[in-house]
Structure 1
Amino acid sequence: MARVVTQRRLDDFPPETIDKAKKVIVDTFAVILAGADSEVEEPLMRYLDMTPAAGKAPILGTDRRTTAEMAALINGTFGHALDFDDVLSMMPAHPSAIIVAALLADLPDHPLTGREFIEAYVIGIEVGARIAQGITVGHYSRGYHGTGTLATFSGVAAMAKSRGLDEDQTRTAFGIAASMASGLRRNFGTMTKPLHTGLAARNALQAVRLALCGFTAAPDILEAKAGFYAAYGVEASDPEVAIAALDGPGILVDPGIALKKFACCYAAHRGMDGVLALREKHGFTVEDVVKLECRMPPGGMLVLTYPQPVTGLEGKFSLQYALAAGLVDGHYTVSTFTDAAVQRPEIQEALKKISAYEDESCRDDDPLFDTRSSGGRGFVDVEVTLRNGTRDTIRIHKAPGHPSRELTWTDIEAKFDDCADHASIEPATARQAFKNLRELESTEDLAALVKLLHH
């Protein structure tokens, strides 16, 4: 893994890698902005005021600057605050906000060109994904949140690449970060879930900087008997699998990384897509609906744990609420998952019409079914019954934004505009920032780009 970080270059990946990487990077900037106006913003700003150390690193969507470590923590937390960021199902986790937040925090001390930023991102995604592939989804099943544990290594690899660490320093950075890796699924539906992302970004930054300063750590932290795989893995975990997987074209090309069309837990997205498709097909409103049934594959509702949510954060992990909001509104935006939206009386009435449950018939014949994450296994059936007697079912195998249903640049621009508006960024400024990010590989001055998104 250390050798990949030090030796592999952007030119070693297929040409389409740059465009695919840019889509995720632009998407990540968008969700960090939106997070600046989320529930986590107020307590994080109070926390920042408790430790008002001077610094040069900007916090996007605000007018604040702080130390690199604090900026990584806050921007990283913003990036996952709305659960609107990317999904790497093989982790399963959301690594991009960690990488982007860590690199942004380091920019004032270590400027990068746009191409260097993309290269560090690509290396970071690749290394973290392969470490996850070797440890298997069993790590997640044990209760760990891979964003806070496995994706920490994505941040370390990206930072090590951007800073030009040698192999020994990179191994040391991995060793330091492995003892920082943390995050438990029990905190889903609370502010601590996105905090996992911020902590991972901060930890990645600190691990690389400590390695640069001569700090020591075990050079075999992943594979050692008392190392990361042994402590965090399962019987099937195998670091050799991670190494062997590095021979491919890169995970951005195969199997790809999913971008979210909806600002909530990815496991709910296929059901939500089904509701919108049925509404478009039949033109009904919530008043026309007698019953809406959503059948999920076994394990598909593992993290959708709030059938009767009372907050926006709980709503992000409620399949029932997401379906009800689709019936009531006919669309989804960032504002769908606010406290006020969840608590609407019409939503409470719509919830009475919803039935959502796991069904063995949604398993399909995928031999790798049990290795898939909640949002990627089997298929989802959504069935509506209308007052006029119509009864129709739609089957969704892949969520919108899945690599097989990749978001277009038009989709991403609409998402960027929605997120920038949520952060009170002027439309003209948002358009310019999007244009600059779209042309990121040609950008020489990333600081000027970041300044557009800093009030």
Structure 2
Amino acid sequence: QGITESFAAAIHALNSAQLTDGVIKRSKRMIVDTLGVGLIGTRTDVFNKALTYSQLFNSKEKSSIWGNSDMSLPAHYAAFVNGIAVHSMDFDDTWHPATHPSGAVLPALLALAEAMPRKPSGLELLLAFNVGIEVQGRLLRFSREAQNIPEFHPPSVVGVMGSAAASAKLLGLSALQCSHALSVAASSAGAPLANTATQTKPLHIGNATRRGLEAAQLVQLGLKGNPDILDIDCGFGIYYRDYNPSVMPGCDDSGFEWTLEKQDVAFKRIPAHLGMHWVADAALAARAKMEEVRSFEPREIIRLTLRVPPSKYINCPLPTSQHQARHSFQFNACSALLDNKVTVDSFNQMQINRKDLKELLSKVIIETPADNKPSFENMYSEVELETNDGQHYAAKCNTFYGHWRKPLSQEDLIQKFKSNASAVLTSEGVEGIIDVIENLEN
């Protein structure tokens, strides 16, 4: 059995009876978090630009735009703009090997479900969602390079494949059609990391969820691609230099186990690149150590040393926009030190332009120790403050709260959702969504 054939067979044959309690619990946490960050993301500039563009197109098919009850679009454009909303603040979940799994799948499924003549059940939605997540998890393990920082932004590569798989599952495509859906989607994969820290980065998720959905819909109309797309180096293998694919166990295979069962996701407490969570927690701990012996006075700090992994795209000494700030070790460390917290409001323009922040940023020194690898599984951040009287206060973070090794409690996850969703919805709407997702399988 070929690699693509095995994936297609599994996508087609997996059934809801195989969803374990652990997978259902974890995927519902992912869904509620994704909806929350997507809802608050509808208040961003990049979302509004994408929505204005998408409204140029009209169709009889209508799917809802999150946070805008009076607007609807064709399913693929609804998926596009809602996907952008999810990643507009870099607030969405992160997996290992690195990708943002939920944002590439959920917007496509909700838009598609709304446009289908027969509305799928909550259990069918859960199954399709987990199929999309599973395909991403399997593909990420085809490359050791994916464990660290690859050449392409990961959700633009595996995310579009997950969207195609999930959409194909919800549409009930045959096994052969599922292989073609993966093939068609692969031709829309890949986005350069050069657009990190710009308004274009959220489009990587928007494009992934939209293009995967379109691939499944095109195949439903008879479009075909290379049925061996995962088997060959010049197929999906083009995105990884050390591509080493393996078959996906079938649903009748006793060896099948959901990747999500074995590997939890990280949920972010602050709307910033995942690497920022280590440095923010280390900075807060360093400030706490200083406050054990003296009051915290930024003007007394003469040097601020950050020991972080080497990474060009999240090393931004003097950010001038919110997107740069979300990808700046320096900004997040200094914000945490000055305010004793990092929040959604930390990234507004007024906060970015603060004089005291810029003064502290000028004192930052970046060091990249040889043992600090650019891997979300193994990296650490250390923050050391040196004061004008020669004292040093340092703290190191190996695992931040929210990491898959130290997951958010259900209470804190729901509180994050409420805080985000309440920026758009009434309290009744917020509680209604929580109730629906808690009982989604029913």
How high is the TM-score relative to the length of structure 1?
0.87
Deviation at 1:282, TM superposition (A): 4.7
Deviation at 1:327, TM superposition (A): 1.2
Alignment pair present for 1:87 and 2:94: yes
Per the alignment, residue 287 of structure 1 pairs with 298
Deviation at 1:387, TM superposition (A): 6.1
The residue identity in structure 1 corresponding to 2:8 is: A
| Cα distance in 1 for residues equivalent to 2:55 and 2:218 | 26
The residue identity in structure 2 corresponding to 1:188 is: T
Q: Specify the SS of the correspondent of 1:393.
A: strand
Alignment deviations for residues 32-55 of structure 1 (CA, whole Å, 9 cap, x no partner): 111101121231232133324454
Alignment pair present for 1:321 and 2:322: no
Q: Give RMSD over aligned pairs.
A: 2.3
For residues 316 and 407 of structure 1, do their structure 2 counterparts lie closer, same or farther at Cα, with a shift above 3 Å needed? same
Per the alignment, residue 3 of structure 1 pairs with 9
| Cα distance in 1 for residues equivalent to 2:323 and 2:436 | 32
User: Could you tell me whether the CA contact under 8 Å between 2:147 and 2:375 is conserved in 1?
Assistant: no
Deviation at 1:71, TM superposition (A): 0.2
Q: 1:41-80 to 2 correspondence within 5 Å?
A: 41-63=47-69, 64-80=71-87
Per the alignment, residue 271 of structure 1 pairs with 279
Alignment deviations for residues 199-252 of structure 1 (CA, whole Å, 9 cap, x no partner): 1111111111111111111110111353121x2221x211127769x9463222
Per the alignment, residue 451 of structure 1 pairs with none
Alignment pair present for 1:401 and 2:409: no
| Cα distance in 2 for residues equivalent to 1:139 and 1:278 | 29
Alignment deviations for residues 68-99 of structure 1 (CA, whole Å, 9 cap, x no partner): 01101100111111001011121x21121110
For residues 145 and 362 of structure 1, do their structure 2 counterparts lie closer, same or farther at Cα, with a shift above 3 Å needed? closer
User: Could you tell me whether the CA contact under 8 Å between 1:10 and 1:122 is conserved in 2?
Assistant: no
| Cα distance in 1 for residues equivalent to 2:429 and 2:176 | 43
For residues 331 and 438 of structure 1, do their structure 2 counterparts lie closer, same or farther at Cα, with a shift above 3 Å needed? farther
Alignment pair present for 1:359 and 2:365: no
| Cα distance in 1 for residues equivalent to 2:13 and 2:406 | 32
| Cα distance in 1 for residues equivalent to 2:42 and 2:229 | 35
Q: Specify the SS of the correspondent of 1:16.
A: helix
For residues 142 and 14 of structure 1, do their structure 2 counterparts lie closer, same or farther at Cα, with a shift above 3 Å needed? closer
Q: Specify the SS of the correspondent of 2:405.
A: helix
Per the alignment, residue 258 of structure 1 pairs with 266
| Cα distance in 1 for residues equivalent to 2:289 and 2:248 | 44
| Cα distance in 1 for residues equivalent to 2:359 and 2:131 | 48
The residue identity in structure 1 corresponding to 2:161 is: F
User: Could you tell me whether the CA contact under 8 Å between 2:145 and 2:240 is conserved in 1?
Assistant: no
Deviation at 1:324, TM superposition (A): 1.0
Q: Specify the SS of the correspondent of 2:190.
A: coil
Deviation at 1:294, TM superposition (A): 1.8
Deviation at 1:288, TM superposition (A): 6.7
For residues 49 and 326 of structure 1, do their structure 2 counterparts lie closer, same or farther at Cα, with a shift above 3 Å needed? same
Q: Specify the SS of the correspondent of 1:407.
A: coil
Q: Specify the SS of the correspondent of 1:325.
A: helix
Alignment pair present for 1:312 and 2:322: yes
Picking from 215, 220, 239, the partner of 2:245 is: 239
| Cα distance in 1 for residues equivalent to 2:13 and 2:300 | 58
How many equivalent pairs are there?
A: 426
Q: Specify the SS of the correspondent of 1:258.
A: coil
Picking from 171, 184, 189, the partner of 1:176 is: 184
User: Could you tell me whether the CA contact under 8 Å between 1:59 and 1:65 is conserved in 2?
Assistant: yes
Deviation at 1:276, TM superposition (A): 2.1
Q: Specify the SS of the correspondent of 2:142.
A: helix
Per the alignment, residue 38 of structure 2 pairs with 32
Unaligned ranges ≥5, structure 2: 1-6
Unaligned ranges ≥5, structure 1: 364-372, 443-455
Alignment deviations for residues 364-410 of structure 1 (CA, whole Å, 9 cap, x no partner): xxxxxxxxx54333322222345676533222222321111001111
Deviation at 1:277, TM superposition (A): 2.8
Deviation at 1:141, TM superposition (A): 4.9
Alignment pair present for 1:429 and 2:429: yes
User: Could you tell me whether the CA contact under 8 Å between 2:61 and 2:115 is conserved in 1?
Assistant: no
Per the alignment, residue 420 of structure 2 pairs with 419
Picking from 131, 145, 158, the partner of 2:139 is: 131
| Cα distance in 1 for residues equivalent to 2:419 and 2:428 | 13
| Cα distance in 2 for residues equivalent to 1:389 and 1:140 | 37
Alignment pair present for 1:296 and 2:296: no
Q: Specify the SS of the correspondent of 1:207.
A: helix
| Cα distance in 2 for residues equivalent to 1:387 and 1:426 | 50
Per the alignment, residue 383 of structure 1 pairs with 384
| Cα distance in 1 for residues equivalent to 2:386 and 2:23 | 44
Q: Specify the SS of the correspondent of 2:393.
A: strand
How high is the TM-score relative to the length of structure 2?
0.90
| Cα distance in 2 for residues equivalent to 1:163 and 1:53 | 20
| Cα distance in 2 for residues equivalent to 1:140 and 1:293 | 24
For residues 344 and 332 of structure 1, do their structure 2 counterparts lie closer, same or farther at Cα, with a shift above 3 Å needed? same
| Cα distance in 1 for residues equivalent to 2:279 and 2:364 | 12
User: Could you tell me whether the CA contact under 8 Å between 2:42 and 2:67 is conserved in 1?
Assistant: yes
Per the alignment, residue 340 of structure 2 pairs with 330
The residue identity in structure 2 corresponding to 1:118 is: L
User: Could you tell me whether the CA contact under 8 Å between 2:38 and 2:66 is conserved in 1?
Assistant: yes
Q: Specify the SS of the correspondent of 1:404.
A: coil
For residues 407 and 289 of structure 1, do their structure 2 counterparts lie closer, same or farther at Cα, with a shift above 3 Å needed? farther
